[in-house]
Amino acid sequence: QVQLMESGGGLVQPGGSLRLSCAASRTIFTMNTMGWYRQLPGKERELVATITNTGSTNYADSVRGRFTISRGNAKNTVYLQIDSLKPEDTAVYYCYADLLGWLYWGQGTQVTVSS
């Protein structure tokens, strides 16, 4: 099993930046893929970004160029750098891990973009 803990959300003005962190209870290199989803108010959860255990990344079209997923030097952390934030990025952001086909989720962290 994997426990995931997100942090780094908050209130930010349009155009600002945030870095979300996801700390896993085991080394991320044992996971097939890790990534981030988000759930906008009244919408279904949507995939934002993924990173494989080989370091390959993928992004939703709506965030490509503004969001960057990366792995930390510590072997159990994945980050999501969010730049040029827009009000429509307001959502709860969830970290997930795919371990041998099983999906594990964090509790989510709220990102609110408002002036």
Q: To 5 degrees, how large is the angle CA 17–CA 74–CA 22?
A: 45
Q: Please report, rounded to a whole number, the percentage of residues in the chain having pLDDT higher than 70.
A: 99
pLDDT bracket for residue 111 (50, 70, 90):
very high
Higher local confidence (pLDDT), 19 or 100: 19
**By the 8 A CB rule, do 33 and 95 touch?**
no
**By the 8 A CB rule, do 8 and 112 touch?**
no
pLDDT score of 76 more than 90: no
**pLDDT (tens digit per residue) in 20-75:** 999 998 887 788 899 999 999 899 999 999 999 888 999 999 999 999 999 887 67
How far is Cα 15 from Cα 2, in angstroms, rounded to an integer?
34
Give the containing element (helix H, strand E) for 68: strand 67-71
The residue type found at 36 is W
